[in-house]
Structure 1
Amino acid sequence: MCFYYRYQVLGMRPLTTTTTKGTHPFDNGSFGLDADNVLCKLTPTGVWRPCIGTVALPHVIGLTHMGHLGAKATFDRFCAVAYAPHLLHHVEAFVKRCTQCQQMRMLLHQPYGALQLLPAPDTPFTTISCDFRLHHVERRKVEPMVRQTATVPHWMAKEDH
């Protein structure tokens, strides 16, 4: 039976009382065995969390990752119910392999807004230039941004009102 199901849905909790230190090989103050002989870790808040082994870790991360809310939300949900060493590393690797998360992830920034108007030149034969930044599809090989310059004669820049 899954640890998440046992401890969250059924309401089973590890025992808060510990035996004498050193009775079991894992009873050292931070780790202990509960009534079902499940290895648990004592959190700084005083709550016992079951330890998840490397074999069951991907399955339990998958259960806490339902909803595809990203690495931080998955990490927080996992920490609320269980303990695993190097958990953040495992959660980030799991989210990077999740195809739905990769398809739905946001870009690093919002799309570029409207271009800002340039002031009309007050003298003839003045050069007006503007940089256009084009959105590139993400590729494995990083290509530099294309910089383009357009030169517009003064008589084309002024509008009659």
Structure 2
Amino acid sequence: MLFLHWLLFFTSLCAPYFASKLLTHGCSITFTRRFMESVSLIGMGTCLFLVSLSSRFTISLALFTLAMALRGLHHAGVSVNPHDFAPDHTGSVFGIFNAFSAITGFIGVYMAGWILHSSDNQWAYVFIFTALQCIIGAFVYGLKGTGSRII
């Protein structure tokens, strides 16, 4: 199991290659971004939900590792999206994205603490809550995400 952490590294490097292949085969930028992000988020959500059902350490570790590997596909999804819709202002838009990410990180830690306090330290509920966020995020981005220039 010592090699599993390299999966995130591998998928992070391969995701742009897969996205480029989709683009060269005629898929639109919007479809490519939505597809890569959806696979990432739905895959992570599924893994986190399965972790909440697991009682074995090795299975949980493998599922967490797979979730993080799928996270690497994010690098061909919303992570590069500011360049698509604001090519002249990519840095500023990416900075705004990161600011909102920091806010959600703060809220997520608070919510995890509240869930743990309210549920007698049941981590399964935290994983389910996070899995739901992933699935909802995939749904919203799948409907509203774009690769078209806006600014």
Q: TM-score, normalised by structure 1?
A: 0.21
User: Greater share of strand residues, 1 or 2?
Assistant: 1
- After TM superposition, the score normalised by the length of structure 2 is 0.22
Q: Which has the higher contact order (CA 8 A, sep 6+)?
A: 2
Structure holding more helix per residue: 2
State the structure with more CA Rg. Answer: 1
